[in-house]
Copies of this chain bind each other. A is one copy, B any other.
């Protein structure tokens, strides 16, 4: 099968590596607007060739949109328009059998953008829960998705064969499938992914503002600090549109989070060791879930 990957960054690039070496993709086309990244992706051999967007959509059996969600919201209707056009001009079978999926971190804006599109069935909304704090084709790595969960949203809106194609792609990546509607996805993602990026960014800002002597940060930072602040290296191009598209959920979670930090603050300020202990022991319940 020919797989077209739009956006050859960490996620798109890592998919390309595993889809090829595990035999899912017989041919890999890539689209990459950043010339340096495009050259790197070809040089590293992530894809067979980097081609223009229309050519990629035209030649691929499945198109993966692996760009920031702001760009994906614009591209997705264009892809479905091209599918309609190919059907009309007979470039493909009478009912287009091509599939397009995205891998973005928010889903509601995407599914809304094409809700009434005549080719809606050819789109599968997905979110593979994997990543690192690095970006670009250099960050791509084999095995990134192994054992993680991928979420398929509003699957009933997609044609069954399109869903099967996408499931088979994720099977190749060794991912567990989870089915959810797009709006639930966005609420859960705010809690277990988006918020932790904000807490890391804010932690980095706090430390950078106060510790003018960077050598001290470097010397004193224990593994715990590095782990907590790791996500603060994450890329603005990716995260600005996520916070923007998942604004209401993110704000609600942030308000709860600020309240929790204040509960700690006040218990410490009041020298109330019993309350500090009880907050910590409550938080320790996370052990049951995160290993």
Binding site for B on A (CB under 8 A): 129-133, 148-149, 151, 176, 178, 188-189, 191-193, 195-211, 214, 216-236, 239-240, 243-244, 247, 250-251, 253-258, 260-265, 268-269, 271, 273, 276-277, 279-290
Contacts and interface: CB of A to CB of B under 8 A. Distances in A.
The 5 closest A-B pairs by CB, nearest first: A196-B228, A202-B260, A201-B283, A204-B286, A204-B283
Given A133-B224, A247-B268, A258-B265, A287 B233 contact: yes
8 contacts: A130-B223, A196-B203, A199-B202, A205-B282, A229-B290, A236-B284, A251-B265, A251-B269
A183 B190 CA distance: 39
From A148, A195, A200, A225, residue with most partner B Cβ within 10 Å: A225
Contacts of A196: 203, 224-225, 228-229
Given A129-B222, A131-B224, A195 B203 contact: yes
A209 B263 CA distance: 14
A229 B277 CA distance: 17
B286 A253 contact: no
B204 A285 contact: yes
Given A205-B283, A206-B256, A222 B148 contact: yes
A192 B221 contact: yes
B260 A205 contact: yes
Nearest to A213: B188
B201 A279 contact: yes
Given A196-B203, A211-B191, A243-B276, A222 B151 contact: no
A282 B207 CA distance: 11
